[in-house]
A and B are shown apart, each in its own frame.
Chain A
């Protein structure tokens, strides 16, 4: 019998996966140009669909500043006159992003092959 997945466990598992992917996605987002916190959050959740909690983005950015891949700078914005703190990727962060993306692509290719080979529940029945 096909047992229905527990939505809370599903959400928890997805959160764990996404937590691991958030750093890679964040560094990739910053590769073309610096972004401010809210913009990073909305793009991580919108484009990447990572479900990053609103309250966890600034602690994450703060930690990444300390670890080295990200640097921050306040800029005065002309559109609303309010200053925004922009985050830019550092050379070390760029190297980290490249390594993470390569690792992710290899893992994804291997997993795709495994999933293809083993099939899903319907095929087996």
Chain B
């Protein structure tokens, strides 16, 4: 085999490995990425660089595919703004970005607070006497109380609209936070 044939093979093998690494992406997206890479390699070769050197400069095929895959997940999450995609992208980027960790923690806290209100509202249906927002001389809390005569219940049936409000607020606030965080990460790289 000649050197030139070795070189061409190196580029073909590299592109095939990238294709394999991008197998889980939609076909049109994968073809678009590979077409751009193919064009990149062809132009470098036309300018006099050996194909083997071109793919060496692009780095290992699996690392390249992973970087493109992560970039695509990030792009999809930002453009579609689907809640699940955004959370998935945040989790995947958390390892390399402290901002994603902070945003993830804030999202967890907001949802935990909303779920607490929702669970107390659910108890309010089953046990209206013991569930609610309670205030006594020493305590102020939302939840279940053993002896309702020791504290005042402040919400009554208003806990139900409050639950809807808390869930809607958690959804909107965490969605906005996820979009903002992913945009920052996308720009920083």
Residues of chain A with a CB closer than 8 A to B46's CB: 80
Is residue A37 within 8 Å, beta carbon to beta carbon, of the partner chain?
yes
Q: Report the separation of the CA atoms of residues A60 and B36 in the bound assembly, to the nearest whole angstrom.
A: 14
A-contact 0/1 string along B160-189, CB 8 Å cutoff: 000000000000000000000001001111
B58 in complex: contacting residue of A23, A55, A67, A83, CB < 8 Å: A55
Q: Report the separation of the CA atoms of residues A65 and B72 in the bound assembly, to the nearest whole angstrom.
A: 10
Q: Most chain-B Cβ atoms within 10 A of its Cβ — which of A20, A38, A62?
A: A62
A-contact 0/1 string along B69-102, CB 8 Å cutoff: 0111011111100000000000000000000000
Q: Report the separation of the CA atoms of residues A38 and B57 in the bound assembly, to the nearest whole angstrom.
A: 13
B42 touches A82 (CB 8 A): yes
B187 in complex: contacting residue of A56, A59, A64, CB < 8 Å: A64
Is residue A31 within 8 Å, beta carbon to beta carbon, of the partner chain?
no
A84 in complex: contacting residue of B39, B72, B75, CB < 8 Å: B39
**Size of the chain B interface, CB-CB below 8 angstroms:** 33
**Min CB distance, A111 to chain B, in Å?**
21
- Known contacts A38-B40, A82-B39, A84-B39; is A62 also within 8 Å of B59 by CB? no
B58 touches A54 (CB 8 A): yes
Which of the segments B60-68, B115-123, B127-135, B149-157 contacts the partner chain? B60-68
**Size of the chain A interface, CB-CB below 8 angstroms:** 27
Nearest CB to that of B36 among chain A residues? A85
Task: Enumerate the 6 nearest inter-chain pairs by beta-carbon distance, A residue then B residue, closest first.
Answer: A66-B75, A55-B59, A67-B186, A62-B71, A54-B57, A59-B67
Residues of A within 8 A of B (CB): 19-20, 22-23, 37-38, 53-56, 58-60, 62-69, 74, 80, 82-85
Ordered by A's residue number, 30 sampled pairs between the chains whose C-beta atoms are within 8 Å are A19-B189, A22-B189, A23-B187, A38-B39, A38-B40, A53-B57, A54-B54, A54-B58, A54-B59, A55-B58, A55-B59, A56-B67, A58-B33, A58-B36, A59-B70, A59-B71, A59-B189, A60-B189, A63-B71, A63-B187, A63-B189, A65-B75, A66-B77, A66-B79, A67-B75, A67-B187, A69-B187, A83-B35, A83-B39, A85-B35
Residues of B within 8 A of A (CB): 32-33, 35-37, 39-40, 42-44, 46, 54, 57-59, 63-64, 67-68, 70-72, 74-79, 183, 186-189
